[in-house]
Amino acid sequence: MPICSAPTVGDKVRLADTELWIEVEDDLTTYGEEVKFGGGKVIRDGMGQGQMLAADCVDLVLTNALIVDHWGIVKADIGVKDGRIFAIGKPVTPTSSPTSPSPSVLRRK
């Protein structure tokens, strides 16, 4: 089991310098499958990339974000497209996930 140093389901996080604490309700990230670039790392040039059109992809993915919203407190990745939040969930591509229903980059669990 990989070591997780970030908060996950059931962990409590203190909000800044207040006495307010929140508890993570859901975790959409996958541990142990992180991609690390660089010499001697687990990925080489061309790996971990998809062949999707730019129109089907988000512009930016913020990974391992702790999201506090009206529907819950969730740890997930955030996809940004055209300057707006496009999707929240785990990044998938049709080539990396055979069960992906469409070429969406992020899907909500």
Q: What is the CATH number of the domain that holds 92?
A: 2.30.40.10
pLDDT in tens, 25-68: 999 887 766 666 666 666 666 666 666 777 777 888 888 899 99
**For position 22, what pLDDT does the model report?**
96
Q: Is residue 6 part of a domain?
A: no
Domain count, the chain: 1
Highest mean pLDDT among 15-19, 30-34, 85-89, 101-105: 15-19
Q: Is residue 7 part of a domain?
A: no
**pTM for the full model?**
0.69
Q: Is residue 5 part of a domain?
A: no
Range(s) of the domain holding residue 71: 12-107
Q: Is 14 helix (H, G, I), strand (E, B) or coil?
A: strand
Which residue has 């930016």 as its token pair?
60
User: With the CA atoms of 34, 16, 73 and 104 taken in that order, what torsion angle do they form, in degrees rounded to the nearest 10?
Assistant: -40
The set of residues, in sequence order, having a beta carbon less than 8 Å from that of 83 and lying 6+ positions away, is: none
Q: Is residue 21 part of a domain?
A: yes
Q: For the chain, give the mean pLDDT.
A: 76
